[in-house]
Chains A and B, each alone.
Chain A
Amino acid sequence: MENLIALLVAAPLLGAVVLLCGGRRLDRVGHWLGTALAGASFVVAVVLFTDMLGRSADDRALHQKLFSWIPVEGFQADVAFQLDQLSMTFVLLITSVGTLIHIYSIGYMEHDERRRRFFGYLNLFVAAMLILVIADNYLLLYVGWEGVGLASYLLIGFWQHKPSAATAAKKAFLVNRVGDMGLSIAIMLMFTTFGTFAFGPVLEATGETSEGKLTAIGLMLLLAACGKSAQVPLQSWLGDAMEGPTPVSALIHAATMVTAGVYLIVRSGAIFNGAPDAQLVVVVVGAVTLLFGAIVGCAKDDIKKALAGSTMSQIGYMILAAGLGPIGYVFAIMHLVTHGFFKAGLFLGAGSVMHGMNDEVDMRRYGGLRKYMPVTFVTFGLGYLAIIGFPGLSGFFSKDKIIEAAFAKGGTEGWILGAVTLLGAAITAFYMTRVMLMTFFGEKRWQPDAEGHDPHPHESPKSMTIPMIVLAFGSVFAGGFFSIGDRFLHWLEPVTGHSHGDAPVSATTVTAATMVVLVIGVAVAWVMYGRKAVPAVAPRGSLLTRAARRDLLQDDFNHVVLVRGGEHLTRSLVYVDHSLVDGVVNGTAASMGGLSGRLRKLQNGYARTYAVSMFGGTAVLIAATLLMRAV
């Protein structure tokens, strides 16, 4: 059975190679081929999953070594895969949501003449993400990590004729590089500390390692996670990444890429367990990002950017949960999976709306769409209810658990974190209701596009609606399915471990509080956007609103501190290079030239001078020889 693992990666990788190298001949079948191979990978995943369920909880991990990658004395690295419950969860999420997005893209990208290439990139994305989650060592994980970075760059910049898309792709790539540096440093530290990269030996040896080293490794891993998962301070690429085609946004935000950071932290749990300081930083990053993303989401009028803020915020929940240690690992992953369903559904819904609205993204020009796009409205609505944590739907179960876990952290810390997660839940309810109201309710605010075409909103084709319906099912039922009888907890516990912590308040109280803030959030949004007509032009707004529209000044900050700072640094280095380094070099050259000119005058052409030189030389020679004997 373990021989099937490589097939998971092989299928989409083959698709990427064939589609990208195959040329125009494959234009007509490319999208089918790509979708079929992603689907094949999903089928393999299901087979492996069924097999895994048939074995006892302690015996579920599978291992497959393909070949020895770097067989050097003292530096061993294998291309080997490990499929345990944690990896299996990710594999199922990636392949299922990935396949649905492939199907959706068939319709969405129908009129794009580079569709074959798009599917090649999608396959590459899925393959890289699968390598990332089933690698059995950090070095191979890094390969998948970089592969995801490359694929995201290619897909975000897919419409490269648009300067904004090209810039966004570059931005995502550059910001990710910062995180990648963290991962590579972490891997180097691991090698010097443990002498190996493999998960097993590294994670087992954490008990005998000093806390300082673990903290250093942990912080570097966190930096890596911040890059891929768009956490503060490396969050700035995520909003701009919306320049990519909408299926790409769905793929990045739901099933791949941004989840990689959460995976990395949960996978490296043993390291963080031994480094409380690093864990604290993880929690802080998660909490800050949670609020940051939520606030940005409130102010955006671009539907995709509002959803992007929401993603940032939800990933913040997961990172926060992962930072809580064994109390939160399972719930981080559980929220990740449910989020994968409803966020993919929301993005595909947003894509469907744009599809019907001449690619308009400004929610102030939507309004009243529920009559024109019933399927989209229902599926999007279910995703909306799931994400705000409406009782009984997926998000309710998973988010509630995280809030409970935050309180269970104990002490002042627990109260602060609990409060932050509750506040986040309120803001989530507010901004998602806002999106819902502005898009599907109220008056029509449609406007003709740049070429003067009036929009004719219509429901999207089947290839797009079916994936949305499937995902809506996931949004509704996944959470309940996982939570009843603690199924998900028992499934994942052998890998991540679990502890209940000591909650200062009962679970029922937490749930009640969550319900209260939920109602408040929805109510405020209703008052602001449901009762009153939404103005077609955004009002000036408060200082906070304006800041939030500018992504809380993240780009201004980066520009002032990093870009300007970098320019200043470069300029001063250039100055040093010109004045000091070149000065020394040119000065040496000039002084050599001057010396040469002076010495040259000794060569005056008179044989008598030459003879004197010889005579003097001999005298010195003799004197020096005698002197050496004398001393």
Chain B
Amino acid sequence: MSATAVHSLWTMAGGVTSAAPDEKFKAPVIEYTQLTPVLIVIGVAVLGVLVEAFVPRRARYYTQVFLAVAALVAAFAAVIGLAAAGYGTTKAHIAAMGAIAVDGPALFLQGTILLTSLVAVFTFAERRLDPESHGSRVDSFAAQAASVPGSDSEKAAVKAGFTTTEVFPLLLFAVAGMLVFPAANDLLTLFVALEVFSLPLYLLCAVARRKRLMSQEAAVKYFLLGAFSSAFLLFGIALLYGYAGSVSYAQIATVVDGSIQQIDPALADTMGNDVLLLIGGAMILTGLLFKVGAVPFHMWTPDVYQGAPTPVTGFMAAATKVAAFGALLRLLYVVLPGLTWDLRPVMWGIAIVTMVGGAIVAITQTDIKRLLAYSSIAHAGFILAGVIAATPQGISSVLFYLATYSFVTVGAFAVVTLVRDAGGEATHLSKWAGLGRRSPLVAAVFAVFLLAFAGIPLTSGFSGKFAVFKAAAEGGASGLVVVGVISSAIAAFFYIRVIVLMFFSEPKADGPTVAVPSPLTMTTIAVGVAVTLVLGLAPQYFLDLASQAGVFVR
């Protein structure tokens, strides 16, 4: 069916026959060039599925790794190209019939997500940490995800040397969703993007090679609760549609701030029930706060972070947070700025319990991955402080913080994959005692990441936290800053405790060994350390970049 035919069909359905079809209806204009980053990633993801179907098993790993890396690099190049062409600043506009924004925050966040994913892919592809099994190298993923743990079929799959190379297309699908999520400019696109990146993540959580039951349990929990939060989000979307008669951000914004009265008085009379707006807005917030892991929507985080394969945890912890905070920023700054004063107290409350709760519960954790999970919750609270600032500095400080945080996170989880004993990764903290004596380099690198998490000067964590707190204080949220600093002090305790444990405790006799990784993981860690130090020592260029990128298109 041709495009004209489709149009005529619509025309008749609308009952409008008098006007020529060309005048009343226009073919949807899709600015493909501006969507290149997303299109590349999603295209290669589809290609990856075909690879699974048609390429021989032997060649799949290399093909998939190559494709994934190439896709992410190309997409990043496309983001740079768009930014260079001025789409981040002067030419920022809303593409694809109002569905996707191409502006500074979107491009900045997409760039961050792509780079983070790129270094995360290296940890996905790492095959030297586990000893070879049956003559073939293995990665962190189950030989055959569908086989029941402990069953004969699992043993057979392991013996046959299978690997789950599907993780690469899954990762690309998730990345595609994440690229759209912070750029989504209507509520439906937002929801679709959410599902596109969530579903692959649920799957990825389930495919750990070791401790498979735990991994599957994590995936199921994540899936159930994710579905629950999606339901809230969707219901919130429905209520907002009922309120404003549209799912478009721009349209809703005009209704919220009352400017619809000038544009279309007749329409204005039929809507504007504030109860719908408030309940709907709160429910959409629920969906997004779930993804960023804010208290009290955070409870999935420790279980999932612990159960998921560590490379997946690193990817998820970094990239999901970037995407979700991007979407949250856009929602609050573009759609609901009129609600700033209604939402402020409750957002304050959430930021405070998130910062304090994350930091306090982290104190008694005994598993490094759970510890990092609670740390990520506390960090979500710090970022929320910047989000609440409701100033341009608030936006740019959050963008900067996300960039610093994501690289530290990926790097830290990459280090976690290295410390192993007979049962795989040795994540219990007691096993990390004295690591600094046996493997000073690895321990030192991990210490750098921990110091960055703690926000110690000369690391990126300090510049990020400083930017966020400064913006919050200038935005009138000094109280939050006070709580934030106190929480940082509490958090510093457990970060430093790990450092003390590594360097000042006697090594255990049956302690873990540090596996020597391939250049892949080394690259991930090296990039993490480099970014941490560069953004800590000379953050100004990137602060300026974030500040230029800190304007949403409306």
Contact = CB atoms under 8 A, between A and B. Distances in A.
A414 B357 CA distance: 78
Contacts of A620: 346
Interface in A606-627: 607, 609-611, 613-614, 616-618, 620-622, 624-626
A622 to B, nearest CB: 4
B457 to A, nearest CB: 23
A609 B224 CA distance: 12
A620 to B, nearest CB: 8
Interface string B278-298: 110111011001100001110
Interface residues of A, dominant DSSP: helix
A625 B343 contact: yes
B81 interface: no
A628 B361 CA distance: 30
Contacts of B349: 624
A593 interface: yes
A617 B296 contact: yes
Contact of B220 (A607, A621, A626, A629): A607
B302 to A, nearest CB: 6
Contacts of A617: 286, 289, 295-297
Interface stretch (B1-9, B67-75, B178-186, B225-233): B225-233
A595 B353 CA distance: 13
Interface string B334-351: 000001011111100110
Contacts of A628: 341-346
B225 A610 contact: yes
B166 interface: no
A192 interface: no
Q: Pick the most buried of B286, B343, B345, B490: most chain A CB atoms within 10 A of its CB.
A: B286
Interface stretch (A30-38, A262-270, A369-377, A597-605): A597-605
A592 interface: yes
B346 A621 contact: yes
A625 B281 contact: yes
Interface residues of A, number: 28
A625 B282 contact: yes
Contact of A626 (B279, B283, B302): B279
Interface string B520-533: 00000000000000
A50 interface: no
Contacts of A599: 357, 360-361
A89 B317 CA distance: 81
Interface in B488-521: 490, 493
A412 interface: no
A595 B283 CA distance: 30
A460 B232 CA distance: 107
A610 B221 CA distance: 9
B421 interface: no
A621 B282 contact: yes
B17 interface: no
A606 to B, nearest CB: 9
A625 B342 contact: yes
B225 A596 contact: no
Interface in B289-314: 289-290, 295-297, 299-300, 302-303
B278 A629 contact: yes
Nearest to B217: A605
Nearest to A597: B364
B275 A605 contact: no
Interface in B221-274: 221, 224-225, 228-229, 232, 274
B232 A618 contact: yes
Interface string A545-557: 0000000000000
A593 B297 contact: no
Contacts of B295: 617
Contacts of B221: 607, 610
B363 interface: yes
A441 B149 CA distance: 113
Nearest to A617: B296
A626 B225 contact: no
Contacts of A616: 296
A619 to B, nearest CB: 9
B364 A593 contact: yes
A596 B285 contact: no
Contacts of B220: 607
Interface string B352-379: 0000010011111100000000000000
B552 to A, nearest CB: 22
A620 B228 CA distance: 17
A602 B361 CA distance: 10
Contact of B228 (A603, A611, A629): A611
Given A593-B364, A628-B341, A621 B299 contact: no
Interface string A455-493: 000000000000000000000000000000000000000
A597 B360 CA distance: 9
A617 B362 CA distance: 21
A622 B278 contact: yes
A614 B303 contact: no
A485 B394 CA distance: 85
Q: Pick the most buried of B275, B296, B350: most chain A CB atoms within 10 A of its CB.
A: B296
B363 A611 contact: no
B279 A622 contact: yes
Interface in A191-241: none
A626 B346 CA distance: 10
Contacts of A626: 275, 278-279
Q: Pick the most buried of A596, A602, A616, A620: most chain B CB atoms within 10 A of its CB.
A: A596
A613 B286 CA distance: 12
A603 B361 contact: yes
Contact of A621 (B286, B300, B361): B286
Contacts of B363: 592-593, 596
A600 B361 contact: yes
A622 B300 CA distance: 21
Given A596-B364, A618-B232, A628-B341, A609 B299 contact: yes
Interface string A40-55: 0000000000000000
Contacts of A605: 303
A624 B299 contact: no
B54 to A, nearest CB: 38
Contact of A618 (B283, B362, B493): B283
A584 to B, nearest CB: 14
B548 to A, nearest CB: 33
A596 B345 contact: no
B342 A629 contact: yes
Interface string A563-602: 0000000000000000000000000010011011101101
14 contacts: A592-B493, A596-B362, A614-B229, A617-B289, A618-B232, A618-B283, A621-B346, A622-B279, A624-B346, A625-B281, A625-B282, A625-B343, A626-B278, A629-B278
Given A607-B221, A618-B282, A620-B346, 15 more contacts: A592-B360, A593-B364, A596-B360, A596-B362, A603-B302, A614-B232, A614-B290, A614-B299, A617-B286, A617-B295, A617-B296, A618-B232, A618-B283, A621-B282, A625-B281
A-B interface, 9 closest residue pairs, ranked by CB to CB distance from nearest: A617-B296, A610-B299, A624-B346, A596-B363, A596-B364, A622-B282, A618-B286, A621-B282, A607-B221
